[in-house]
Structure 1
Amino acid sequence: MSATRLVKSRMRLLFSLLCLIMGMTMLLAPASTTAKTYQKAVWIPVDSTIERGLESFLHRAFADAQKQQADLVILHINTPGGEVNAADQIGQLIRQAPMHVIAYIDNQAFSAGTYIALNANEIIMTPGSSMGAAAPIDLAGNAADIKFISGWSNKMKAAAELNNRNPDVARAMVEIDTEFPGLKPKGTVLSLDAQQAKQLGYADDVVSNKEELLKKLGIQPDSLQAIEPTGGELVARWVTSPIVMSLLLIIGLGGIVVELFAPGFGVAGTISLFAFSLYFFGHYVAGFANWLHIGLFVIGILLMLLEIFLPGGIVGAIGFISIVTGLVMAAYDTQQGLASLGVAALITAIVTFLLVKKYGVKGLFNKFVLGDTQSNEEGYIAPRDQRELEGKSGITLTPLRPAGVVKVEGKRVDAVSVGGYIEAGTAITVVQVEGTRIVVAELELKE
């Protein structure tokens, strides 16, 4: 019996030692394991609507972070969502980044913003912030087709699995017509607040504010480097939005049409030029347009102007094709460029119809296509002799700079001033007629 008690006693002693060792290990592990420290951290905003301009900015921002040898990137996400294609490219950029990426959400990261966050190594939220509601919709606000939803759901699922998050939660954020027991009923999409996200493993931590975040990461606020978008990049983000793209093309094309009906180069032409310049500037800064695309557009405009002096319409047709090619190729996506240009062309056609209805076809095409032609059978037909207008009085219909349009004896005629600028509505007299060239001077009224 004594031998048995001895064995039991030794077994209890051994068991006690094992428990003591395990306890010591658990107590000492936190003290011996130091938290990961970061040598260089950068702060990058991901705010407003997600579009191609944001993608271009983030490519530059991550490149700058790598040049600064940053080992931590904090993405400050605050967005209602945006373009799925842009979010997909941003997600790929985050996955391929050599540094640790944290998605910090202190307000909202819905739709495409959730996808961007899921691609980060960590997600940290603040109380009151939300994420989810990632069902894709079209520009009209309707749900996308089932094929697109299925593809987007798979992308969300794959992004969730990157960091061992429950893929069904990601799918529940996308699939409206699917029921996920314990997550959401059919006919809705899932969105999560900070505490719900943490419980489901979609938020790695919840902090009160930015200061607490930096404290947890061991980062001094004054050492944090912020990479902000430049003024040009902000313009590019605005211009590359599909709605703004279409609006600029509508203004540009509409301005050309209005200018065809208005003598001289006036307000409509200036606005049109500004709209096209803004379109190309934004896409150039975003990295989508280059000098070839701009050159094609400029050449097209010049060929369209040349059509005024050359008969036949071939030069004008080539110019039109060149303009369309330049505009579409400058867009970040050919399909989107064609869609925006199509919308602009439709609205411009409506404007043209209304102007033709008001001013007649002659007001448009007589300014754009050369009407006089030379024929071997008929010979050259000279323009009508207008020498009878010499010495007659009239009024300027447009400003003369020095060219413009005047009205003499009820007739609208092109004219040039003899002494420079003359305001519209000024009384003039025809001082000289040389062929088709009519020279006028301001009429001096006798007191």
Structure 2
Amino acid sequence: MNRFALMRKLIFLSFIVLAGIIWMFKLPVHSQSNNQVVYFVPIEQAVERGLEAFLKRALETAEYEGADHIVLEIDTPGGLVDAATNIANLIKTTETPITAYVKVQALSAGAYIALNADQIVMAPGTTIGSAAVIDSAGNAAEEKANSMWLATIEGAARDRDPIYARAMADKNVDLPEYRAGVGYLLTLYADEALEVGYAEAIAKDRTELLEFIGMANAEVREIEVSFAEKVARFVTHPVIIPILLSIGSLGLVLELYSPGFGIPGIMGLSALLLFFFGHLVAGFAGYETLIVFGAGILLIIIEIFFPGFGLFGVLGIVAIIGSMVLASYSTVNILLSILVATVVSVVASILMFKFFGYRGPLKRLILTDSTKSELGYVSSVTRKELVGKIGIVTTRLRPSGTAIFEEERLDVVSEGGYIEQGKKVKVISSTGSRIVVREIKE
């Protein structure tokens, strides 16, 4: 495979990646119904930006199709504060009445989301609360962030007694009758939430729930998380992003160290495809990020085949990193993820080169042979047979000049300093083109 065939192959693979990322999305179809319509929307697993994108679509779809009521079925242990805040804003800006129905648990960010609904209904034995702010390491947030969060969650309580909302986020609020205070956050069971006004009713199933909201005969519709949205929720998780980028970079590095195009390359391209696909579906990235990413790949290919003093390579790397930053919802998180992926790639490259050598497709473009004397490469012939021979200096040696040895004129260098013309000299060493002589004292 020559350099141009390899270049065409890399460009073709680049277009495969970009083409695989571009998907067609269906718009919601407007339908009408003479009956009342209630939409059930699930809020499950961790609260993150992928869930936010799904709920945005779900609420817009429900309103577009003329929903009379929306029920958020909640079962979540919590998640990201920024995602929960954005979801709360979506709920507050939705004109259709919204009921939060706690099916299992509404903890942390899930409790905050429930408090922003128009009313809360809980299934028997379910829980709500425990809403302290923690960082990515699982530690309590700094005082400034915690103070802002306390004010936010108290505001979400609205006409409810704010002391209970504060106790959900502050361990110092003492409510011993509900196991809160002295280092413990408030978590209310369904009957306790009903008692303190943090739930309007207890309903064991959808039938009782619909009776409570006065829509027992309403048409029930469900908005499910699509497969694409499930993938997007997974790959946009802050923990998954660095893993995904590490797999992508490692796969491409391994592909460079192996002939042909095989599993490592497919693995790397698939990881990058998932990254952009997930962020595209979640609504964080636009098609402009794909254009920037493709431009970065092309610049690196140009640098490989037409070196430009590293300029094209640097621009390509900047374009790729820039496309990932543009596609991400958190600049700090994506930069840390890229740093992790870079470290993994560098370590893998060193290990692969050390233990396996280079056997990849670029080997045809890189000169790896060396001009060793064992292979017959010599810069000049070393004439060992001259050592010990005696000749006459034909020019003054200062310290170099010429001398005649058995009618052969040779360029020589004196061992010491000056040697006068006509003096006898003896060859004491010969290395390549350097012949060293010493004057013979008579």
**Normalising by structure 1, what TM-score?**
0.70
Matched letter for residue 266 of structure 1: G
CA contact (8 A) 1:77 1:103 kept: yes
Structure 1 position 165 matched with structure 2 position 180: no
For 1:188, what is the secondary structure of its paired residue? coil
Q: Give the equivalent residue in structure 2 for 1:261.
A: 257
1:128 corresponds to which residue? 125
- 2:62 aligned residue (52, 65, 71): 65
Q: Which of 272, 275, 296 matches 1:276?
A: 272
Following superposition, the deviation at residue 165 of structure 1 comes to 1.1
CA, structure 1 residues 368+338, in 2 after alignment: closer, same or farther (shift >3 Å)? Answer: farther
Aligned residue for 1:59, secondary structure, equals helix
Shift of 1:290: 1.3
Q: How big is each residue's C-alpha offset from its partner over 1:329-357, in whole Å with a ceiling of 9 and x where there is no partner? A: 11122232223222322333332333344
Structure 1 pair 175–255 and aligned structure 2 pair: CA distance change class (3 A): same
Say if 1:356 and 1:364, in contact at 8 Å, map to a contact too.
no
Q: 1:320 to 1:204 in 2, by over 3 A?
A: same
Aligned partner of 1:112 in structure 2 is 109
SS at match of 1:201: coil
CA distance in 2, matches of 1:302, 1:218: 60
Of all paired residues, the percent bearing the same amino acid is: 41
Question: Matched residue of 1:224: which SS?
Answer: strand
- Could you tell me whether the CA contact under 8 Å between 2:207 and 2:216 is conserved in 1? no
Aligned residue number for residue 298 of structure 2: 302
Secondary structure of the residue that 2:169 maps to in structure 1? coil
Cα offset for 1:309? Answer: 1.2
Aligned residue in 1 for 2:203: 207
**1:242 and 2:238 correspond:** yes
* Paired residue type of 1:185: G
The AA in structure 2 aligned to 1:127 is P
Contact 1:307–1:370 (Cα < 8 Å) also in 2 = no
Native 8 Å contact 1:43 1:74 kept in 2? yes
Unaligned 5+ runs, structure 2: 1-34, 372-442
Aligned with residue 175 of structure 1, among 170, 186, 211: 170
- What is the rounded CA distance, in whole Å, between the counterparts of 1:367 and 1:199 in structure 2? 74
Asked whether the equivalents of residues 256 and 362 of structure 2 are also in contact (C-alpha less than 8 Å), the reply is no
Give the RMSD, CA atoms, in angstroms. Answer: 2.6
* 1:313–1:369 CA contact under 8 A, matched in 2: no
State the structure with more CA Rg. 2
Query: Residue in 1 aligned with 2:429?
Result: none
Corresponding residue number in structure 1 for 2:220: 224
Shift of 1:219: 2.4
**Distance in 2 of aligned mates of 1:363 and 1:247:** 26
DSSP-derived class of the 2:59 partner: helix
CA offsets, 1:227-247, max 9 Å, x none?
A: 112221111111111111121
Distance in 1 separating the partners of 2:121 and 2:88: 17
Q: Residues 128-168 of structure 1, C-alpha deviation per residue, up to 9 Å, x if partnerless?
A: 1001111122232222222222221211111012xx11112
Matches within 5 A, 1:285-324: 285-311=281-307, 312-324=309-321
Q: Secondary structure at the match of 2:346?
A: helix
Describe the SS at the equivalent of 2:170.
coil
Note the alpha carbon deviations across 1:286-327, whole angstroms, 9 max, x for none. 111111101111221222122221222211111111110111
Contact 1:307 1:368 in 2 (8 A): no
Supply the distance in 1 between the matched residues of 2:295 and 2:241 (Cα, whole angstroms). 21
Q: Which moved more, 1:345-354 or 1:111-120?
A: 345-354
The aligned amino acid for 2:209 is L
Q: 1:109-132, CA deviations, whole angstroms, 9 ceiling, x for partnerless residues?
A: 111000000000100001110011
Instruction: Tell whether the 8 Å contact from 1:331 to 1:337 is kept in structure 2 after alignment.
Output: yes
CA distance in 2: counterparts of 1:231 and 1:61, whole angstroms: 14
CA displacement at 1:359 relative to structure 2? 4.3
Matches within 5 A, 1:250-399: 250-311=246-307, 312-359=309-356
Distance in 1 between residues matched to 2:290 and 2:299, nearest whole Å: 14
Structure 1 position 366, deviation (Å): 6.9
User: Is the CA contact (8 Å cut-off) linking 1:328 and 1:341 kept in structure 2?
Assistant: no
**Are the counterparts in 2 of residues 72 and 100 from structure 1 also a CA contact under 8 Å?**
yes
- The separation in 1 between residues aligned to 2:84 and 2:365, in whole angstroms, is 47
In structure 1, give the amino acid aligned to 2:220. L
Contact 1:308 1:368 in 2 (8 A): no
- Read off the aligned partner of 1:247 and give its amino acid letter: I
Deviation, 1:285, is 1.0
- The alpha-carbon distance between structure 1 residues 92 and 367, as it changes in their structure 2 partners (threshold 3 A), is farther
Deviations 1:384-426 (A, max 9, x none): xxxxxxxxxxxxxxxxxxxxxxxxxxxxxxxxxxxxxxxxxxx
1:206 shift after superposition: 1.0
104 and 365 in structure 1: CA distance in 2 versus 1, 3 angstrom threshold: same
Count of residues in correspondence between the two structures: 335
Query: By how many angstroms is 1:88 displaced?
Result: 0.3
After TM superposition, the structure 1 = structure 2 runs for residues 131-170 of structure 1, keeping only pairs within 5 Å, are 131-161=128-158, 164-170=159-165
Contact 2:286–2:327 (Cα < 8 Å) also in 1: yes
Deviation of the 1:254 alpha carbon = 1.2
Q: Which has the larger displacement, 219-228 or 112-121?
A: 219-228
- Quick one: distance in 2 between partners of 1:64 and 1:262? 49
Q: Which amino acid aligns with 2:312?
A: V
User: Cα 1:276–1:319, aligned 2, differ >3 Å: closer, same or farther?
Assistant: same
Distance 1:315 1:190, change over 3 A: same
Alignment partner, residue 72 of structure 2: 75
CA contact (8 A) 2:260 2:361 kept: no
